[in-house]
Amino acid sequence: MKTAPFTATDAAELYSIPAWSGGYFRVSDAGKIEVTPSPGLRATLSEMVAELVQRGESLPVILRFPQVLTGRVKQLNEAFQAATLEYGYSGAYQGVFPIKVNQRRAVVEGIAAAGYDYAHGLEAGSKAELALCLAQRMHPDALLCCNGFKDDGFIKLALWGRTLGKNVVITLEKYSELDRVLKQATALGVKPAIGVRFKLHARGSGQWEESGGDQAKFGLNAYELLRVVERLRELDMLDSLVMLHTHIGSQITDIRRIKVAVREATQTYAGLVAQGAPLKYLNVGGGLGVDYDGSKTTFYASMNYTLKEYAADVVYTVQEVCKARQVPEPTIVSESGRALTAHHSVLVVPVVDVAGPTRDLQDIPESKGEPHQVVKDLEEIFENISGRNYREMYNDAVGDKQTLHNLFDLGYVTLEDRARGEALFNAILRKIQKLISGEKYVPDELEDLQKVLADKFICNFSLFQSLPDNWAIQALFPITPLDRLNEQPTRQGTLVDITCDSDGKIDKFIDLRDVKATLPLHEPNGDPYYLGVFLAGAYQDVLGSAHNLFGKVNEAHVTVRPGGRYHIDLFVRGQKARRMIESMGYEEPMLRDSIENQTDRAIEAGILTTDQERELLEDYDEELLGYTYLEYEEA
């Protein structure tokens, strides 16, 4: 029976692309990944990479798509607009982008520009972030929320922002901050706009569940909340209290947790209004998730709701409580960051080598002379495996391999026999894997066979710099080849980076039903092979570490045009070796002086010629100014 050819549709299903892409990425009929920022626009990622390589730029590279960022801002705001219209909600909606999610200039300026007509604002959690936010062009009504712990300098800068005509709200994270705000406001003669974060007893779901609840890091309890109201009332400044802020965590996977938290937040808002506080804004915080694995479940890498459902449930819940308590419907504020930024960037990493167990019989080394009996036993097992006896043969092979190693340790098996025996064992496992691939039931001891036999695809990037959440909290990101997606992948692999760290690997991958231990990949054919890591636009840019002194990677900012065309609007080069070294306290002149002193001594000792010295110093200077990643000439 002839097997149907593997198609782009098969690849889309294999890598779950329609499930996680949000409509922003697809597989073309030619088997290539395309970005589709809006209906009618599409462009091929591998063509962008090829153009960059032709220009002489090095990989890895981040491809940023400003149109996707704009699209996400539009979707969020229009989802809330539709919900307020559907329910006849008398209040409004204003979004706020917490820049801690991604402070890159292109991201912050892109969101500020895309959100201008929606009065979409920004959130700063430090003095540096506030300084950055104040410089942005924002709608006069757009909120600039100041969260996090604050000193006098932070508060003073926020108050100056109000004198510039910006809608700056200072959120109290603890009761003692109130006196600091009042003192600085009096000194500057500026009337503050104050928000207060309340600790909900409701909690989120997923990896950041601990962000909410009674033990949350930030926020005031009910008693402290009432103290703020009374203190401001005593000073005849109660009208300065404009916002109630709540937050139960990032990447909330379960919509039911969101509804419970919003209900509690709105009840608190109604209680404050009953106390005479003329609140204008109800800030429901962040938490809007991203469906990284496409499963639409409460799994930590997913979410069981859509953006439209999120907006509708928030608006409906707030309205329901306000009607019951007979209080005005506030302007709803949410601080969505992950959901706005995740889709807009793709990390492209080249595969530079593949390593793994022996694959071909011809690669099994021949024994010199008479092989040891344990090697003969493994040869016999390999020859006699069948669908009826593979389980027994597997157990025999495992025992023989252990014996082989024990005898080697005692000096009774040669290195050549050990090499042949290990290669035979891997060949046995591959043969068993083929036999069980179509079976419904797989014995427990054979469930991890695919993982054991997986190839290691060595990729030119640093996990710690570019995907720190994968290493730190086992976050999952969709990963696919950028082309050859009309070919059946024949290998199962894990990914390893080029750092000198055993943790620099990816061995967990998205799956609609579970977490996979391997990723389907293609047989190397001599052509460049690029993998795209998707949904990496939130947090990864700002959390990356300098492990092994690998720095930020190159970035290409790409606009997609009609007819499958695109334009690389901006190319931002990553950090050079010199900058990474200087960040550790070294100075370039000091390093070069040390090398020159060593070469002078080498010349005096007759080890080095003057021509060699010149070449050495040139190479040293070139590497100091070079990209921190491997720079291979692409085929």
Q: Output the known binding site for substrate.
A: 282-292
Q: Which residues of 480-502 are buried (b: 16+ CB within 10 A; e: fewer)?
A: bbbbbbbbbbebbbbbbbbbeee
DSSP state of 367: P
Amino acid identity, residue 260? V
Helix and strand numbers (H, E) in the chain are: 22, 21
The structure tokens 């004198």 sit at 163
Q: How far is CA 188 from the centre of its chain?
A: 42
Catalytic (active site) residue 459: no
Q: How far is CA 245 from the centre of its chain?
A: 26
Task: Take residue 482 and report the two structure tokens written for it.
Answer: 């950028």
* Cis upstream peptide for 60 (omega within 30°): yes
**Helical (H) or strand (E) element with 432:** helix 415-436
Q: Are 142 and 111 in contact (CB under 8 A)?
A: no
Question: Residue 206 region, left (φ>0) first, then alpha (ψ -120 to 50), else beta?
Answer: left
Greatest extent of the chain over all pairs of C-alpha atoms, in Å:
99
Q: Are 168 and 118 in contact (CB under 8 A)?
A: no
Task: Take residue 212 and report the two structure tokens written for it.
Answer: 């909410």
Apex 559 CA angle, 555 and 564, nearest 5: 120
**Helical (H) or strand (E) element with 303:** none
The structure tokens 């901006």 sit at 570
Q: Which of 635, 526, 632, 546 is nearest to 58 (CA)?
A: 632
Task: Take residue 367 and report the two structure tokens written for it.
Answer: 């024994």
Amino acid identity, residue 154? F
**Helical (H) or strand (E) element with 34:** strand 33-35
DSSP state of 509: B
The structure tokens 């967990």 sit at 508
Cα–Cα dist 471/458, whole Å? 16
Judged by DSSP in three states, 348 sits in strand
Q: Which of 211, 332, 319 is nearest to 263 (CA)?
A: 319
DSSP string, 216-261: -SS-B-HHHHHHHHHHHHHTT-GGGEEEEE----SS---HHHHHHH
Cα–Cα dist 184/168, whole Å? 15
Q: Which of 23, 118, 111 is nearest to 70 (CA)?
A: 111
Positions at the binding site = 282-292
Task: Take residue 31 and report the two structure tokens written for it.
Answer: 């088997």
**Sign of the alpha-carbon torsion through 313, 323, 265, 260:** negative
DSSP string, 67-123: HHHHHHHHHHHHHHHHHHHHHT-SS-EEEEEEGGG---HHHHHHHHHHTGGGT-EEE
Catalytic residues: 500
